[in-house]
Every structure is written in C-alpha cells, then in structure tokens.
C-alpha cells in the first residue's frame, strides 16, 4: 500500500504539476466552451450601444427620419434581449458547474479532512470551506469579471479603427488601471492572507473552547479565555483593516482614472471632430468604448480581494488533492477470528517525534481476554490505537489474522473491530444510530448489542428509548451513560476483536457489573478482548496480562504467572 503520508507534490526544482482542481473543472469541457462562446458573443454585442449612438448621430439627427430611428431602436432592443438571454444562460451554466464541482469533490474532501485529522499529515479543517469559496466564486459576480476581461482587446481594436489618437488615449487609461490592479494585488496579498489565517485560527479557538464550556465556567476561566480571543480577533481585524484600506485607496484611484479617462476620451473625440473631418459621432463612441474597456478592469480591481481568497483556497485544495490515495489489492479478505500480532512495532501520535511504543513484539491468540496494565504514560493507549489501526506504526507491522492492517480497507476492517477509546466520543444522533455505527438500523442487531453491553434496560428508561438524542459528542448523557452506549456500539455485530481502553473509568457499580457480564459473554462467544484497566473486576476475567513500562512490554503471559511475578517484584521492592 502507498505510504499514508506520501504526496505527489513535486520537489523543489521539479517541473510544476498541473492543477488537480483545474483538471476536474475541465472534465466538462463542453460547458466551458459554451461559457466562452456566450462570453465572446456578449462582449461582441456590447458594441451595439456604440454603433446605435453613432448611427443615431450620423443618420437620424441629419436626416430627421423617424422610421430610421424606430428601426434602429427596435434592432438595438432585440440585441439587448439577446445579450440578457445569454447572460442568464451563462449564469445558469456556471451555477451548475459549481454544483457539479461540489458533488464531485465534496465526499472526497471530507474523506481527506478525516484522514488528515487522524494521521496529522496536513491541516484539512478548511478544505470544505475552501470548496465552498471556489464554488461561490464560480457562481458569483467575480467570475464574470474574469470572463469578460480577455475580450477587452476587441474594443481596443474597434477604437483603433475609429481613430489611432483616440485609441492611444483609451489604451493609456487601461494600462494605468491594469497597473493599479497589479498594485492592489501586491499590497493586499500578505495582509489578506494573514487576515484569513487569523480568522480561521480565531474560529477554531472559539469552537474548541465552547466544547470545554463546563470547565471554563466552573473554574472562572472565561475572562482569561476572552482575553486570548480578543488578542487573536484584534490581529485578524488589524490585518483585514490594512488590506481593506489599501484596496479602498486603489479602488478610489481606479474610479478616478476610469472617469477621467472617459472625460479625456470625449474631449479628444471633440477635438478630433473640430480639427479634422471625422464624424461627430466619434464623441459618443469615445465615451462608450472607454467605458467598455475600463469596466472589466475596474470590476477585477473591485473583486481583487475575493480573487486573492479564492486563489488561496484553490492552492489548498490542489495541495490536498495531490496527496496519494490509499491503494488496496481489491481482494476482500475473509472475516478474521481475532488473532493479533505485532512485529517490531514502534509508534506514537501522528506528527510526533518520539515514539511512545518501542520495539513491541507479541502475539495475542484468537478468543482470549488480555488485560493491559502499567503506570501512566507507559504507552497503553498508544498500543491499543496501533492495534485498532487508528494510528499507523512508524516501524513494524500490526496484523489481524496474519493480514497487515494497512492493506485492509477501513470500511471492510471496521465491522470486525469494536473499540471504546479512553475519551469516549458519541456522534450527534440517536442512541440507536450510535449503537448501529450510523449504519442502517437493524433493530435485532441494535438490541442484541445493547443486551450484550448490559444497557438495554438503561436505554428503555430514557425519555425516548432508543430514539433518545445523545447531543453533540453525547452532551445530553452522563459520563457513565456515554461509556456504556460506547460499549454497546463496540459490541454491535459481535466483532471478533474488542479493544476497550479504560471502559469502566466512569461506571458506577451497576455499570461495572454489566461490564463484567459483557466480558464473560464475549469470552464465551470466542471474541478476542483487549482491555486497558487497573480495576480488579476487569482483570479477573482475563486470560493473559500484558504489562507496559516506558513504552515497552516488560511482562506478558498467563494471568496467574504475571500476577505472581508482580507480587514478587513488589515484595522485593519493599524488602
């Protein structure tokens, strides 16, 4: 399988790779061709007001022919109707391209966000919002400014055909506006990027602290939290103000240049009419053509901050999409019996430097109950995360029934593993949905799992029974209830491997007895159970005990033998 942290992004000095996002957008080439054709036609038809004004000046005002005026006006209205229809059609196509992009990438980006969060190989928290940003750009005003800008040369050519001197004046104003647009981009890029990063950091800070509201309230930490938030918010506002001030100044200057250019163009047109034999209609043409040339450039300047934000989102999406996808053999492995083996395993939190577990070699036969004990920070929770495949070993291999976990697709492997983490997390939804692991609700399997975990009667006493909402992260339940529901979720479908990390940390006496019964029944069913616990009621059901010390296995064997060795070591230490 490809390494989880492998990337297809080019190394420094290598040829830049094509944009994956652009490649996906260009999958619908016919739609983009239609958009470009619509844009070209719209911009060509934009010449209609200029031609109309010139014809009225040259023909109608000299001949005073009402029929000519009526026909010219009717033709102009027809052209404007066509332009409006094409604008509407272009907008509809762009909206559908945006929807298609979201449907094409939404699930994949959510999968990447989940993968990045678990494996800590990149920051994926903003990927979905980045997709929204790009989709909004494709369906908003800014994209039309981008699509119309390349057709500005059409109007410049027409201006040259009218009179070279007039073209020089109009082109000079356009060049000044382009320079101002470039200046806007250069001066606002850094503060705008800092502002966006600060905004994301502030939002994440608030979301994180809201999850810890009880602790903050109980210990009076809100003023300190507020002070920290204010510092982050002030930084965001400062950078945003700097970017907005610079963009506002440039937009003001750009507007002045546009209006001045139109006035100068009209003045030059008047001068050419008075000093040469050109038609008086050149005055109207100069005004309208100057407006059509400067309009798209001004629109680009006005939307430059949005273009900068979209460019950042586009880059993050490209970087994410360049991550190599996990590849598998395509062969569906048979259901495992529950034998676990670790071969020279070193591991720890993704992104960390020092492994919390070092050189672990052990074999856990199928159908046994293993208790993992040890002092705090000895590597117990790290070991069970490696066994379940939540974390990937930096070195070595974790196998289930001989198969490397890294070669087993998670959607196939997941149903064979029941896992209760140390920090229990329930997903917003009903009790039944959590027990069923968010899958289709099979009433018999849900109730069987609840009975196996000893929580069926407890659930029936809830307000809505199995339909009771657990709230965000199980906020509507007590700690003990969350832990018992998590145990039922782990037992759903009778998975051959149960991994329980401190499953009795929040349990009362009734919960302890239910856990004890659940472990005995799991052993009778032949399930492999790995439990991290220090309480005797959990350890007494085990067949084997594994003692962790400083990230290594110090003792592993039958319960009576290990207990005897531990007792002897304790006696020797006292003596």
Alpha-helical regions (H) of 349-429: 380-388, 410-413
CA 14 to chain centre: 27
CA–CA gap between residue 380 and residue 486 (Å, rounded): 19
Q: Which residues contact 371 (CB under 8 A, 6 or more apart)?
A: 531, 532, 533, 538, 539, 542, 544, 545, 546, 559
The answer to whether the CB of 260 falls within 8 A of the CB of 291 is: no
Q: How far is CA 143 from CA 136, 251, 322, 379, in A?
A: 9, 18, 25, 53
- Is residue 93 very low, low, confident or very high in pLDDT (cuts 50, 70, 90)? very high
Summary mean pLDDT of the chain = 83
- SS3 of 50-112: HHHHHHHHHHHHHHCCHHHHHHHHHHHHHHHHHHHHHHHHHHHHHHHHHHHHHHHHHHHHHHH
- Structure confidence by residue, pLDDT tens digits, 447-459: 999 999 889 999 9
Confidence at 5, pLDDT banded by 50, 70, 90:
very low
Q: Which residues of 538-575 are buried (b: 16+ CB within 10 A; e: fewer)?
A: bbebbbbbbbbeebebebbeebeebeeeeeeeeeeeee
Q: Of 485, 401, 500, give the one whose Cα is nearest residue 435.
A: 485
| Residue pointed to by tokens 């210990």 | 219
What span, in angstroms and rounded, lies between the C-alpha atoms of 236 and 55? 55
Tokens linked to 465? 């029974």
Q: What is the pLDDT of residues 508-559, one digit of tens each?
A: 788 888 888 888 898 899 999 999 987 766 677 789 999 998 889 989 999 8
Pairing, β 403-404 against β 552-558:
unpaired
Query: Is pLDDT at 7 greater than 50 in this prediction?
Result: no
Q: Which helix (H) or strand (E) holds 19?
A: none
- Listed residue (377, 381, 477, 391) closest to 427, CA to CA: 477
> Where does the pLDDT of residue 229 fall: very low under 50, low under 70, confident under 90, or very high at 90 and above?
confident
Contacts of 410 (CB under 8 A, 6+ apart): 389
Residue whose structure tokens are 């395993």: 345
Q: How far is CA 72 from CA 65, 159, 162, 380, 510, in A?
A: 11, 22, 21, 86, 91
Q: What is the pLDDT of residue 538?
A: 67
Please tell me the CATH code under which domain 340-574 is placed: 3.40.50.300
Q: Does 38 score more than 90 pLDDT?
A: yes
CATH domain 20-321 topology = ABC transporter transmembrane region fold (1.20.1560)
Q: What span, in angstroms and rounded, lies between the C-alpha atoms of 34 and 124?
A: 34
Kindly write down the DSSP assignment for every residue of 223-235, as one continuous string: HHHHHHHHHHHHH
Could you report the per-residue pLDDT of 121-151, keeping only the tens digit for each?
767 778 888 898 899 888 887 888 888 888 8
Instruction: Please write the tens of the pLDDT for every residue from 251-284.
Output: 777 778 778 877 887 788 788 777 776 777 777 7
Q: Which residues contact 102 (CB under 8 A, 6 or more apart)?
A: 131, 132, 135
Structure tokens at 380: 């117990």
Cα separation of 459 and 515, whole Å?
Answer: 16
Whole-angstrom CA distances from 550 to 362, 488, 574 are: 16, 32, 22
Of residues 150, 151, 307, 183, the one with CA closest to residue 252: 183
Residues 6+ apart with CB under 8 A from 176: 257, 261
Handedness of CA 442, 447, 453, 457 (dihedral sign): positive
Looking at per-residue pLDDT, the higher value among 74 and 168 belongs to: 74
Over residues 362-381, the pLDDT tens digits come to: 999 999 999 998 888 888 98
Q: Please return the burial class of 13, using the count of CB atoms within 10 Å of its CB with bins 0-12, 13-18 and 19+.
A: exposed
340-350 confidence digits (pLDDT tens): 999 999 988 88
Residue spans per domain, the chain: 20-321, 340-574
CA 317 to chain centre: 8
- At 532, list the tokens: 């991290």
């Amino acid at each position: 399988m490809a390494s989880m942290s492998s990337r297809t992004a080019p190394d420094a000095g290598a040829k830049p790779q094509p944009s994956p996002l652009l490649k996906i957008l260009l999958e619908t080439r016919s739609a983009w061709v239609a958009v470009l054709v619509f844009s070209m036609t719209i911009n060509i038809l934009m010449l209609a007001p200029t031609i109309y004004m010139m014809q009225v000046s040259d023909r109608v005002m000299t001949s005073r022919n009402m029929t000519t005026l009526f026909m010219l006006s009717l033709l102009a209205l027809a052209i404007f109707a066509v332009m409006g229809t094409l604008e509407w059609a272009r907008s509809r196509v762009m909206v559908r391209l945006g929807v298609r992009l979201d449907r094409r990438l939404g699930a994949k980006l959510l999968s990447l966000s989940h993968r990045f969060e678990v494996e800590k190989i990149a920051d994926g928290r903003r990927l979905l919002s980045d997709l929204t940003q790009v989709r909004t750009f494709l369906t908003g005003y800014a994209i039309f400014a981008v699509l119309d800008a390349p057709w500005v040369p059409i109007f410049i050519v027409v201006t040259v055909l009218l009179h070279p001197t007039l073209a020089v004046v109009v082109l000079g104003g356009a060049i000044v506006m382009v320079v101002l647009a470039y200046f806007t981009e250069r001066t606002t890029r850094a503060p705008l990027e800092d502002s966006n990063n600060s905004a994301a950091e502030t939002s994440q800070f608030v979301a994180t602290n809201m999850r810890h509201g009880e602790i903050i309230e109980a210990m009076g930490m809100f003023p300190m939290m507020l002070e920290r938030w204010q510092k982050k918010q002030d930084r965001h506002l400062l950078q945003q103000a700097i970017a907005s001030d610079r963009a506002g100044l440039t937009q003001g200057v750009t507007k002045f240049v546009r209006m001045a250019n139109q006035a100068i163009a009209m003045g030059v047109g008047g001068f050419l009419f008075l000093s040469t034999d050109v038609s008086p209609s050149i005055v109207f043409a100069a005004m309208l053509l100057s407006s059509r040339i400067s309009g798209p450039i001004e629109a680009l300047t006005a939307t430059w901050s949005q273009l900068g934000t979209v460019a950042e989102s586009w880059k993050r999406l490209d970087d994410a999409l360049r991550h190599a996808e996990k590849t598998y053999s395509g062969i569906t492995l048979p259901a495992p019996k529950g034998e676990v083996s670790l071969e020279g395993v070193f591991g720890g939190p993704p992104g960390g430097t020092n492994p919390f577990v070092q050189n672990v070699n052990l074999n856990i036969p199928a159908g046994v109950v293993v208790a993992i004990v040890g002092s705090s920070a000895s590597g117990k929770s790290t070991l069970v995360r490696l066994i379940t495949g939540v974390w990937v070993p930096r070195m070595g291999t974790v196998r289930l029934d001989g198969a490397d976990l890294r070669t087993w697709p998670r959607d196939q492997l997941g149903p064979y593993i029941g896992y209760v983490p140390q920090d229990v997390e329930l997903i917003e939804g009903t009790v039944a949905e959590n027990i069923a692991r968010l899958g289709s609700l099979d009433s018999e399997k849900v109730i069987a799992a609840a009975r196996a975990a000893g929580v069926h009667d407890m659930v029936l006493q809830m307000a809505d029974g199995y339909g009771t909402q657990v709230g965000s992260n199980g906020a509507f339940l007590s700690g003990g209830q969350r832990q018992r529901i998590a145990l039922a979720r782990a037992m759903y479908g009778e998975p051959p491997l149960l991994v329980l990390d401190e499953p009795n940390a929040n349990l009362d006496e009734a919960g302890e007895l239910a856990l004890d019964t659940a472990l005995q029944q799991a052993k009778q069913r032949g399930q492999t159970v790995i439990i991290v616990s220090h309480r005797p009621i959990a350890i007494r059901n085990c067949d084997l005990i594994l003692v962790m010390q400083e990230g290594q296995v110090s003792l592993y064997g039958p319960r009576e033998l290990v207990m005897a060795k531990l007792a002897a070591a304790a006696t020797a230490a006292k003596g």
